[in-house]
Chains A and B, each alone.
Chain A
Amino acid sequence: MSGLMEYNGSAIVAMTGENCVGIAADTRHGIRQLQTVSCNRQKTFQVTDQCFVGLAGLATDVQTLSQLLNFRMKLFTLREERKMQPRMIGNMISSMLYEKRFGPWFTEPVVAGLDDNHKPFVCAFDFIGCLSTAEDFVVSGTTSEQLFGVCESFWRPGMNKDELFETLSQCLLSGVDRDCLAGWGGVVHVITPDEIITKKLKGRMD
Chain B
Amino acid sequence: MVEVEEPQDYLDVFQSQRGGFSFENCKRNAYLAAQANIKPPTAMKSGTTICGIQLKDAVILAADTRATEGPMVADKNCEKLHYISKNVFCAGAGTAADLQHTCEMMESQMELLRMATGTEPRVCTVVRRLSSMLFKYQGYIGCALVLGGVDVTGPHLYQIYPHGSTDKLPFTTMGSGSLAAMAIMEAEYNENLSIEDGKKLVAKAIRAGIFNDLGSGGNVDVCVITKETGGAILRNYEKPNERKFKAQHAAFPKGTTPILKEEIMKLVSVEEDVVMRD
Contact = CB atoms under 8 A, between A and B. Distances in A.
A126 B20 CA distance: 19
B206 to A, nearest CB: 20
A130 B72 contact: no
A163 B67 CA distance: 29
A40 to B, nearest CB: 11
Contacts of B23: 102-103
Contacts, number: 143
Contacts of B29: 103-104, 106
B16 interface: no
Contacts of B101: 94-95, 98, 129
Nearest to B100: A130
Contact of A126 (B22, B74, B260, B267): B74
B114 to A, nearest CB: 22
19 contacts: A4-B41, A5-B41, A99-B20, A126-B43, A129-B97, A130-B43, A130-B100, A132-B96, A154-B247, A156-B247, A162-B254, A163-B251, A165-B257, A173-B257, A195-B267, A198-B265, A199-B263, A200-B260, A200-B261
Contacts of B24: 100, 103
Contact of A166 (B11, B21, B256): B256
Contact of B96 (A50, A126, A195, A201): A126
A111 B49 CA distance: 29
Nearest to A99: B22
Contacts of B44: 126, 130, 132
Interface residues of B, number: 51
Nearest to A190: B264
B266 interface: yes
A69 interface: no
B251 A49 contact: no
B41 A170 contact: no
Interface in B15-44: 20-29, 32, 36-39, 41, 43-44
A196 to B, nearest CB: 4
B262 A197 contact: yes
A2 B37 contact: yes
